A and B are shown apart, each in its own frame.
Chain A
């Protein structure tokens, strides 16, 4: 199973919006709505930010939103803040009880 494709890096200024894409195939993102996003600070464990393509777990700011179109999922962060600077990973169920992650995107807040 090949990893989902994410841009290696994105950047934005405080207050701006950024979108991170996550491209898979018809065998994963294109078929299943079990798409999630995780935030990870250096040396720390990942944290769930989005599940089921669009749902935010309790405590996650509504500045974070998710969407999907075809084989591509996206995470949008609006009103960018300094503390949003982190690595972000997408993940999709890929059928047959397997899962696939994206390669990760480093978000820099300028």
Chain B
């Protein structure tokens, strides 16, 4: 069974940093591209970032470019999202998700990040 489990969410002040993790099981992690997608409270889904299967390539939504960094450790079956210079508008549930042929086919349960003073 494919499983993705996020962790690392919490409350942080504006300008602060946080690192999210996503540990996966049930599939060969190193074969797949991976995404982060977020959802602000009461709002829709927004794509945040992508990383290639071997970590050699990444991309970001304009809203987080230069502040967020996606990375992965294939030996630990773990995806990361390093978030710096956090803003109130970054408050959201963050989902890690698996890519299959340029589409998301599996999702984690999400972890809530709250940016507030």
Contact = CB atoms under 8 A, between A and B. Distances in A.
Interface of A: 1, 3, 32, 34-36, 38, 40, 44-48, 51-52, 57, 89, 91, 93, 96-104
B100 A104 contact: no
Given A45-B109, A51-B105, A98 B61 contact: yes
A50 to B, nearest CB: 9
Contacts of A93: 102-103
Contacts, number: 68
24 contacts: A1-B61, A32-B102, A34-B102, A34-B103, A40-B45, A44-B109, A45-B95, A45-B108, A45-B110, A51-B103, A51-B105, A57-B105, A91-B103, A93-B103, A96-B59, A97-B57, A99-B35, A99-B47, A99-B104, A101-B46, A102-B44, A103-B44, A104-B44, A104-B45
Contacts of B109: 44-45
Given A45-B109, A46-B95, A36 B103 contact: yes
- In this complex, the interface size class of chain B, counting residues with CB under 8 Å from chain A, is 20 to 34
A47 to B, nearest CB: 7
Given A47-B107, A98-B47, 14 more contacts: A32-B102, A34-B101, A35-B103, A38-B45, A38-B104, A45-B108, A45-B109, A46-B95, A51-B101, A57-B105, A89-B45, A91-B103, A99-B104, A104-B45
B5 to A, nearest CB: 11
B50 interface: yes
Contacts of A38: 45, 104
Contacts of A45: 95, 107-110
Contacts of B100: 51
A51 B100 CA distance: 9
A45 B110 CA distance: 7
Contacts of A98: 47, 50, 59, 61
Interface of B: 35, 37, 44-47, 50, 57, 59, 61-62, 95, 100-110
